[in-house]
Structure 1
């Protein structure tokens, strides 16, 4: 099933946004048996860990080359969290569209026209394209759905790898915490809150996604 949709600019900026999903789910990858290499699954559609990494790498490259001077990066951990959440929510919309026989189409994301596309690793492009198509198709589905008829993730089989320490609760993704069936180290825990500019300025290069905040933009230090 090919998912198509929204606009490139919307996709490229998702990693800087706090995402909210509706419904609730508490399934965890591994509860029903080993599923190595899987980041999350919605019904029969799986997001592999390799695909998630490829999308993070690709979008961070696009963010780094974004010509907009106001575009500020984030941490790779936070970007990964937002991308995974957005991807899960979009797959729920796609399943809902199939169930309800909703016909929705939208523009091609045009990733190949984005500044920095040539810098994206060729091995990352297919996963990034699939992510963009899926998220954008989700937006098109939402435009076809009448108010009050949005899909409820609780109606679908959703599972998330416990390494990300996140689950759906009510209307948002929250840390799974003690509800996980396996322990999660501090290093593996997903970053739910966006990092501050101060934190981003201190991040090592390999943990930064996009542009580092300009130190000149920092608020002045009180002199007394």
Structure 2
């Protein structure tokens, strides 16, 4: 799957260990064994992915909230797999992301490009580790902290949202987020979103037949 397709697919796949003993540190969206995703970098990643989604033909738009939840889930899942790879000595080296082929890349500023490149590298490494290991890491074996403001936690190795709805297994997040479309808003719902909540190009509302 191309880098553009991965980013756009992740944007529309919505989605215990959530806060740890001391709770989340200020400005931290998530942390896995000392690897930190700041709230600032998460916001930057969402901004960038929404630009990419809007610039990609036939890519479905969604809400910023859904994109944020999906990207956070994918980051946590891939970082758990990378931590597992480090622990087991599994080579997670993956090819450099082909950023030149990403739609809208030249519309991103340097910070956005850096955050997207890091995200894609992390996903690629996790996929390489998962392929080489043939096993699934238990997130309970790692120190995972997710800021509760995002309404995402991990129970029995599965991501759950604030309503207790199950999503993919943590170890599968990196690969499954690229193909899942669960939780995608309807075209009418997306079309009705205000600009501040829209991620991607606004679709035309579907006309309701009279009678």
TM range (shorter): 0.7 to 0.9
**In structure 1, the residue corresponding to 2:45 is in which secondary structure?**
helix
Q: 1:13 aligns with which of 9, 12, 28?
A: 9
Q: 2:148 aligns with which of 145, 155, 162?
A: 162
Q: Which residue of 1 aligns with 2:170?
A: none
Q: Which residue of 1 aligns with 2:160?
A: 174
Q: Which residue of 1 aligns with 2:184?
A: 194
Query: Could you say what the CA RMSD is over the residues aligned between the two structures, in angstroms?
Result: 2.2
Q: Which residue of 1 aligns with 2:125?
A: 137
Structure 2 unaligned blocks of 5 or more = 165-181
Give the paired residue count. 193
Deviation at 1:26, TM superposition (A): 2.0
Q: Which residue of 2 aligns with 1:61?
A: 51
Evaluate the alpha carbon distance shift between residue 18 and residue 162 of structure 1 in structure 2; reply closer, same or farther with a 3 A threshold.
closer
**In structure 2, the residue corresponding to 1:36 is in which secondary structure?**
coil
- Which has more radius of gyration? 1
How many Å separate the matches in 1 of 2:23 and 2:71? 25
Deviation at 1:159, TM superposition (A): 0.6
8 Å contact kept, 1:7–1:136? no
Deviation at 1:41, TM superposition (A): 0.4
Q: Which residue of 1 aligns with 2:38?
A: 48
8 Å contact kept, 1:17–1:82? yes
Q: 2:201 aligns with which of 198, 205, 211?
A: 211
Q: Which residue of 2 aligns with 1:35?
A: 25
**In structure 2, the residue corresponding to 1:88 is in which secondary structure?**
helix
Structure 1 unaligned blocks of 5 or more = 1-5, 20-24, 179-191
**Larger helix percent:** 2
8 Å contact kept, 1:76–1:207? yes
